[in-house]
Amino acid sequence: MTGRFARLRHLVDTNYGTHRGLVRYLLGQFEAVAGPARRFRTADAAAISRLVFVCLGNINRSAFGHAVALRHGLASTSIGLATTTGAPATPAARMVAREMGYSLDEHQATAIADFQRAPGDLLLVMELRHAHRLIGQGVPAETIALLGHWARPMHYHIHDPDTLSIEYFRSCFATIQAAVHGLAAELQAGNSPSAKP
């Protein structure tokens, strides 16, 4: 029984970060099914001129999403809802990004207070609570989307890997990479201004 529990815990920790990450993932999936059909899950390609990746610290998830978007040639940036402008990506984020062929060595966080929204911005959040926080700060709901909608399988909650295992960092970044690939394909097919050189 102990071995089975240990395997289950390892599976949860690797794929969802923690048991709390699993619960939030399940709640996010439920919200996607039970909530309004299109809320935080659409991107009008023709209207999007820049992608803005959003998380709390802008030192792990959104930093990596931004790096992947740049590789696709997409106009993009990233910000944090609770960070200090200028903070570097974490050592774990830099290491796992490097393993995947990206560099976060030059990344510097941008606090939302130091960010200027522009027409055509699509703010891509990692969690529903990020979306609600942005709305609380006056950002229109139609300019916010859950990045995990474009991952396969879809992940409406991409749990924060900060201080968690390297295995979860890898799983988290793989989800983000897949989501950005999916979104990039949709934007390019839709002739989005964000995808034009």
Question: Prior bond to 153 cis, omega within 30?
Answer: yes
61-71 and 166-189 helices, crossing angle to 10° = 40
Mean pLDDT of 121-144: 96
- Whether the per-residue pLDDT at 161 is higher than 70: the answer is yes
- pLDDT at 186 (0 to 100): 96
Grade residue 39 by pLDDT with cuts at 50, 70 and 90: confident
Q: Could you tell me if 160 and 93 are in contact, meaning their C-beta atoms sit under 8 angstroms apart? A: no
Q: What is the mean pLDDT of the chain?
A: 92
Q: Which residues contact 68 (CB under 8 A, 6 or more apart)?
A: 102, 176, 177, 180, 181
Residue type, 91: P
b/e burial code for range 97-119 (CB count within 10 A of at least 16 → b): beeeebebeebebbbbeebebee
49 pLDDT above the threshold of 70: yes
Q: Worst-scoring range by mean pLDDT, 109-113, 114-118, 142-146, 152-156?
A: 152-156
**pLDDT at residue number 5:** 66
Cβ atoms of 193 and 49 within 8 Å: the answer is: yes
Residue type, 28: G
Residue with tokens 């610290």: 57
Fold for domain 2-195? Answer: Rossmann fold (3.40.50)
What is this structure's pTM? 0.91
pLDDT-derived band at 7 (thresholds 50, 70, 90) equals confident
Q: Which of 161, 152, 150, 160 is nearest to 185 (CA)?
A: 150
